[in-house]
């Protein structure tokens, strides 16, 4: 039974070491299952060795028993032949072998019982490892769910810090302000353009002829092609005087 006590100590030692260093539960569980299977293989080898010892004891027992039976047959044969001394020697030899048979019988029965116990423990161990394999998938799923919950909780905790949202609102207002300013400048530009156009129209009305027209008119007046309005006005006024 020390075999499985050793198995438990090894697994427990590995488990404690891995738990203390655990960073990835899935990796840790997978490694544990691999360690269990490795120890199971070693345990099977040990049990196989115990079974082999049992078989060897059984063969030795059968050999000693067969030899004892042979010496008994020889003793019977000697008696039938009237050779009592020879029969006595054969019986003494049989008695020695019977003692060996008794000893081998005890050893074999003890080994057989131990092997049966080891077989039972090995079956239990195999079932536990198979159960651990099934539970591993469940534990991995639980781990992933817990990690997801942690991420969600971290996100929710971070959302309680409103500085980012306040900065976002400030930027929104800043963009609104820039857009409003751009609209105002555009409207002012449109007003200025309208005022300038209106001013040009009035200047055309108020200014009359261009400077070139005035120069041409002065030249024609000097050449006598057109009358001087000032002289004409003076001449018309004279008769009335």
Q: How confident is the model over 76-133, as pLDDT tens digits? A: 999 998 999 999 999 999 999 999 999 999 999 999 999 999 999 889 988 988 888 8
Please state, in angstroms and rounded to a whole number, the distance separating the CA atoms of residues 199 and 209. 17
Q: Is the pTM of this model over 0.75?
A: no
Nearest 5°: the CA angle 76, 80, 86 is 65
Evaluate if residue 163 carries a pLDDT over 50: yes
190-228 confidence digits (pLDDT tens): 776 666 766 766 666 665 555 677 777 777 777 877 666
pLDDT value for 238? 46
The pLDDT confidence band at residue 137, using thresholds 50, 70 and 90, is: confident
Q: What is the pLDDT of residues 177-195, one digit of tens each?
A: 888 888 777 777 777 666 6
Per DSSP, the three-state class of 146 is: helix
Domain ranges of the chain: 2-159, 174-226
CA distance 156 to 172: 23
Which residue would you say has higher pLDDT here, 154 or 161? 154
* pLDDT-above-90 percentage for the chain: 31
pLDDT, averaged across the chain: 79
Q: What's the rounded mean pLDDT across residues 57-76?
A: 94
Say what the pLDDT of residue 237 is.
47
Average pLDDT over residues 156-181: 75
Q: What span, in angstroms and rounded, lies between the C-alpha atoms of 91 and 47?
A: 39
CA distances to 39, 64, 84 from 3, in Å: 10, 31, 54
Pairwise CA distance, residues 223 & 229, whole Å = 14
Q: Is 224 helix (H, G, I), strand (E, B) or coil?
A: coil
The encoded tokens of residue 61 equal: 């027992």
């Amino acid at each position: 039974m020390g075999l499985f006590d050793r198995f438990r100590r090894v697994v427990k030692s590995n488990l404690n070491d891995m738990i203390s260093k655990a960073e990835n539960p899935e990796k840790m569980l997978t490694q544990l299952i691999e360690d269990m299977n490795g120890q199971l293989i070693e345990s099977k080898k040990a049990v196989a060795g115990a079974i082999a010892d049992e078989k060897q004891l059984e063969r030795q027992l059968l050999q000693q028993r067969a030899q004892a039976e042979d010496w008994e047959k020889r003793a019977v044969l000697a008696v039938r032949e009237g050779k009592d001394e020879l029969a006595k020697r054969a019986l003494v030899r049989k008695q020695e072998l019977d003692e060996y048979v008794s000893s081998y019988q005890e050893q074999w029965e003890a080994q057989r019982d131990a092997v049966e116990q080891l077989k039972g423990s090995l079956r239990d161990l195999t079932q536990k490892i198979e159960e651990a394999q099934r539970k591993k998938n469940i534990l991995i799923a639980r781990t992933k769910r817990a990690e997801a919950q942690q991420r969600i909780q971290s996100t929710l905790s971070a959302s309680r810090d409103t500085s980012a949202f306040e900065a976002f609102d400030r930027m929104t207002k800043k963009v609104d302000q820039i857009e409003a300013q751009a609209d105002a400048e555009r409207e002012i530009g449109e007003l200025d353009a309208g005022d300038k156009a209106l001013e040009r129209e009035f200047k055309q009305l108020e200014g009359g002829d261009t400077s070139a027209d005035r120069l041409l008119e002065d030249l024609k007046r000097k050449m006598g092609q057109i009358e001087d309005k000032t002289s004409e006005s003076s001449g018309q006024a004279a008769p009335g005087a």
